[in-house]
Structure 1
Amino acid sequence: MTVHARRLGRWSGALAGALVATAVAAQQAPPLEVPAKSVPVPADVSPQMAKIVGAPLRTNWNIQPRTGEEWKPVAEAGAAALRKLVPGMLERLKVGIEPTTIDGVRAYIVTPKDIAPENRDRVLVHVHGGCYVLNPGEAGLPEAIFMAGFGRFKVISVDYRMPPEATYPAAHDDAMTVWKAVTRTTDPKKTAIFGTSAGGALTLAMVLRAKREGLPLPAAIAPGTPMSDTTKVGDSFVTNAMLDNVLVSPDGFCDAGAKVYANGHDLKDPMLSPVYGDMHGFPPTILTTGTRDLLLSNTVRVHRKLREAGVEAFLQVGEGQSHAHYIRDDTAPETKAVFEEIAQFFDRHLAR
């Protein structure tokens, strides 16, 4: 061995030792104490987004229903309120919806009145959010409507089964059933999958499962603020707790919903926490989150893992936004910007 090689070996060993020592020290370090403070609405957001950002904490954020039967009235009440908003969205964005069934799975065909010429043979598959227990039926459609309206794509939105109708893996199975049907009639190179929150996790899980089962992959995906780690690992579960006015707390309603859907299944399974899956070979991915999002770290960790796997991955972060604020108001310019960014990303990667 040359002198240079011996020195390099000693240097590498010293570096490795230093990294281990740093990691150990970090684990042993006391937590940082942060004083209570008031957090103003950012000055450079639109009036529409300022209203959303400055809203009080979500009502009943700390409810803990422990069965599907207990979740059902909660979901129905929330869905009734959301359904009232759908007609206005459809009118403003010039989009139509049609309920359908695809190989036994409930779904909606969401179609803009003016499909862009380059999108005439393209199809997007949408999986809605709601912690696996919320937003049944038309209540799960706002994001699909926004994508169809702003992006001028045809969208198929999956109205997957949820508790108490069914638990894990029902939502995953329904989403994959629709995916298989779509790829029988449409070139996968002309397709993409997207969804937010639980829908973001399902988007990632669908690709993991398609890889495992040898099925075609979409040309691109857009997981929005995905519930990528239901074991609640991630810095923003602490830093954004009680700041995110939607999810509010890592121990709040969404954690309870995910556990009811999992029905005792290992939460670290990549189907429920896809950040632990193998992301090599994933299609190009665009992720969306916000600076106050409780799942900011969930999103950032997926982005980093994709990059480490050599996957083209783009991350957009909304100033001041809590969890999924970008799908709350179609009149907010920030919402339009998010969906136009995703549409442009899809356009670059989907075949014509």
Structure 2
Amino acid sequence: MSNATRSAAIPPRTIQPPQSISAEAQAALSRLVDEDGSPINARYGMPSPEDVSGWMAMKAAADAHYAAAIKGMAGSLQSTAETITIDGATIHVATPHGAFDAGGALIDLHGGGLVFGGGEACRVSALCQAQQHAVRCYGVDYRMPPEHPYPAALDDCLATYRHVLNAHAPEKVIILGRSAGGNLASAMLLRARDQGLPMPGRLVLLSPQVDLTESGDSFQTNQMVDLVLPRPLRSNNLLYAGGANLSDPYLSPLFGDLRGFPPTFLQTGTRDLFLSNTVRMHRALRKAGVETELHVFEAMPHGGFMGGTPEDQELESEIRQFVGRGR
């Protein structure tokens, strides 16, 4: 008997939005494909890690896209922000209007494949989180490649965490990371623990990019099925690493020693390219003795349906409940 592994050959197929999700979520998925059924986001390939000018052009285009998407949004939010610099880290400190938990703090780490999503998008995200959780929010506008490869972003996150600990008890601090921000949130806590800093009260990881080697099953099974993130981010990861080993726990915290981590909330979807990242992180945290809960949403792509669908609202409610239990 041969011990050779065999690959599964999957015939071409068309995947419809399932009837098991809301009409709003079905419509959101439909908006993400061309008339021929191809994912709209698959049009855009990433430059090679060596193509600095290509990355700079793509970052400029992404910044313009984000700015257009959030235009006018900040003015409607019931919170205000000031921007400060701590040890070289740019931080948008957002404070909600009205009553809020002055003793608590939330550190918000944005997504964007470790390359995009800073600037105004980061500031507005901090405003949103401050309003949603009625707490002061520190949005880390961390430095990114190609100008600033690893460990610049991680240094900025850790500098922010140290700053927040000077003003807030660690058990009152929440860390929230989305996608790439989930990578930085987890890696930051590994470094913080290694440097003798206390752990925060709670950790929220939304479809976290915790394995830059992209070794999980869903990087194959959900490729081109995830209409938000249809292809792996190998080029982003190599650009970010700047020559460092992708399997190093400070780059791929899934492979780190997670003992002592705070209670953790994990979210993904059945169509998420990072589904394997999230479920493997859940198992790793469980094995490390960490209290953790995993929320997997039907047919949800990377980052959610993004449009105020009932599923997105349910996720927001679950996060609020989890954060609230830590106060």
State yes or no: 1:95 paired with 2:79. Answer: yes
Which whole-Å CA distance do the structure 1 matches of 2:13 and 2:274 have between them? 21
C-alpha distance 249-84 of structure 1, shift in aligned 2 (>3 A): closer
State yes or no: 1:349 paired with 2:295. Answer: no
Which whole-Å CA distance do the structure 2 matches of 1:104 and 1:231 have between them? 29
Aligned position for 1:332: 309
C-alpha distance 274-148 of structure 1, shift in aligned 2 (>3 A): same
Structure of higher CA gyration radius:
1
Give 1:171's match in structure 2, choosing from 150, 153, 166: 153
TM-score by length of 1: 0.84
Which whole-Å CA distance do the structure 1 matches of 2:19 and 2:127 have between them? 29
Give 2:267's match in structure 1, choosing from 275, 279, 288: 288
C-alpha distance 239-142 of structure 1, shift in aligned 2 (>3 A): farther
State yes or no: 1:278 paired with 2:262. Answer: no
Whether the aligned pair in 2 keeps the contact of 1:133 and 1:162 (CA below 8 Å) is: yes
Aligned position for 1:217: 199
Whether the aligned pair in 2 keeps the contact of 1:80 and 1:139 (CA below 8 Å) is: no
Code of the aligned partner of 1:72: M
Q: CA deviation at 1:143?
A: 4.5
5+ long unaligned stretches in structure 1: 1-20
Q: CA deviation at 1:338?
A: 1.6
Q: Deviations over 1:64-120 (max 9, x none)?
A: 24244421221121111212333443355533333222333111122332444xx23
Name the SS of the counterpart of 2:181 in structure 1: helix
C-alpha distance 196-77 of structure 1, shift in aligned 2 (>3 A): same
C-alpha distance 71-277 of structure 1, shift in aligned 2 (>3 A): same
C-alpha distance 60-125 of structure 1, shift in aligned 2 (>3 A): same
Name the SS of the counterpart of 2:156 in structure 1: helix
Code of the aligned partner of 1:339: E
Code of the aligned partner of 2:87: D
With 48-57 and 217-226 compared, the bigger mean Cα shift is at: 48-57
Name the SS of the counterpart of 2:284 in structure 1: helix
Which whole-Å CA distance do the structure 1 matches of 2:223 and 2:83 have between them? 38
Code of the aligned partner of 2:57: P
Aligned position for 1:7: none
Name the SS of the counterpart of 2:21 in structure 1: coil
The structure in which a higher percent of residues are helix is: 1
Aligned position for 2:94: 110
Q: CA deviation at 1:127?
A: 1.2
State yes or no: 1:318 paired with 2:297. Answer: yes
Q: CA deviation at 1:44?
A: 4.1
Whether the aligned pair in 2 keeps the contact of 1:150 and 1:336 (CA below 8 Å) is: no
Code of the aligned partner of 1:62: G
Which whole-Å CA distance do the structure 2 matches of 1:318 and 1:138 have between them? 29
Name the SS of the counterpart of 1:81 in structure 2: helix
Aligned position for 2:279: 300
5+ long unaligned stretches in structure 2: 34-38
Give 1:50's match in structure 2, choosing from 26, 48, 56: 26
Code of the aligned partner of 1:248: P
C-alpha distance 197-123 of structure 1, shift in aligned 2 (>3 A): same
State yes or no: 1:62 paired with 2:45. Answer: yes
Name the SS of the counterpart of 2:293 in structure 1: strand
Whether the aligned pair in 1 keeps the contact of 2:79 and 2:94 (CA below 8 Å) is: yes
State yes or no: 1:39 paired with 2:36. Answer: no
Which whole-Å CA distance do the structure 2 matches of 1:115 and 1:43 have between them? 41
Aligned position for 1:261: 240
Code of the aligned partner of 2:82: E
The RMSD of aligned alpha carbons is 2.1
Q: CA deviation at 1:152?
A: 2.4
Whether the aligned pair in 1 keeps the contact of 2:125 and 2:139 (CA below 8 Å) is: no
Give 1:83's match in structure 2, choosing from 39, 43, 67: 67
C-alpha distance 152-53 of structure 1, shift in aligned 2 (>3 A): farther
TM-score by length of 2: 0.90
Aligned position for 2:112: 130
Alignment size in residue pairs = 319
Aligned position for 1:15: none
Aligned position for 2:36: none
Name the SS of the counterpart of 1:122 in structure 2: strand
Give 1:147's match in structure 2, choosing from 129, 151, 162: 129
